[in-house]
Amino acid sequence: MTIARANMSTIAEDLYVWLPPKRGWGLANCGLLASPRTAAWIDTPYDPSLAGEFLTESRKRLGDGVSVDRVIVTHANGDHLWGAGVLPDAEVISTREALEHIHYEPTPKQQHALVAGSDPASPLGWYLARHFGLFDWSDTEPVQPTLMFQGELELRVGDHPVHVIGLPPAHTGGDLIVHLPRQKAVFSGDVIFSSTAAFPGDHPVHWAGPLQNVIDACARVLETGAEIVIPGHGPVLDRGGVRAHIAHLEHVRQRAHALHAAGVPALEAARRVIAERRHPELGLPERLVITIGSEYRHLDGTEQAGVLEVMSQVASVAWELEQSMIPGRRTRAGGGEPLPA
């Protein structure tokens, strides 16, 4: 995949973050914790090409003979996991619950075939090509965690303590956060999608929920006392940034509950919240379909739909939004244009 080169920067003692230069599906932040004897990644890029780029940058920051021996995976979305193949000897650490999400998502090769094989004239094919078409998983094997835990895990990377904290279902089932007390830093994974004026981000997307668990996970990040928070996507935050994100999530939760109480179906509720345009600076508003759909599932006690069905709805709403931006067309706010068959 070709994106502008990611930015690798030092944020604390022996701690580096690799920040993709733009927002969008699949462009996740990754961390490198170094020591004189060993090193660890927190999350991997989405495909082997990006992971190779991160590995090259990592090696420049490690002493001779020091390798990345561990990958701590904040959750099992491919954009945090599927690059681990570039480190075939590394221990891959996840929660036990993350396995379930690995089985919910397509394998890398299945996803590659789906993106390449979908009809680009359909909303789903158009959406997949647009947002996932630049990645290459044609030769990517699934990644299996080699160390799974429940609850919490204490590790050391050289002299650096690493506190790995499993969470109740939030962004996915099986999320964890990584607290580095010496660096006063936390990698939150996708319980936080950040945005600042200088680097606007995307709408959060939450597959598991309920949103109260995501809010509680953000509070757990603050409870560690960390002053540097590296979200799964978007710029690095301070504590105030985390509190602002909690307020954002609380608003989405409140709107979902109000619309549910008013008897509005989930998909229509997502359309309405999108049309309210409370955060016009954020990309991918169609992801509210997933987040609000997850919240409704908890309110209704229903099962999660398959990932393809969910993404088809997301693509349809994105298509509606795209059509509504074509000048001269009569549209109603937030979409509602008829879709192609």
Residues of this chain that bind Zn ion (CB under 5 A) = 28, 77, 79, 190, 232
C-beta closer to Zn ion: residue 76 or 157:
76
- Considering the complex, what minimum distance in angstroms separates the CB of residue 232 from Zn ion? 4
- Considering the complex, what minimum distance in angstroms separates the CB of residue 30 from Zn ion? 11
C-beta closer to Zn ion: residue 221 or 269:
221
**CB contact at 8 A, 176 and 96:** no
- Considering the complex, what minimum distance in angstroms separates the CB of residue 193 from Zn ion? 8
C-beta closer to Zn ion: residue 206 or 271:
206
C-beta closer to Zn ion: residue 20 or 125:
20
Q: DSSP for 255-301, please give it.
A: HHHHHHHTT--HHHHHHHHHHH-S-TTSB-GGGHHHHHHHHHHHHHT
Phi/psi of residue 237, nearest 5 degrees: -115, 160
| C-alpha–C-alpha distance, residues 180 and 187, integer Å | 8
| C-alpha–C-alpha distance, residues 7 and 21, integer Å | 7
- Considering the complex, what minimum distance in angstroms separates the CB of residue 171 from Zn ion? 8
- Considering the complex, what minimum distance in angstroms separates the CB of residue 205 from Zn ion? 8
C-beta closer to Zn ion: residue 45 or 166:
45
- CA max distance for the chain: 63
230, amino acid identity: I
- Considering the complex, what minimum distance in angstroms separates the CB of residue 207 from Zn ion? 10
To which residue do tokens 């069905």 refer? 309
C-beta closer to Zn ion: residue 190 or 286:
190
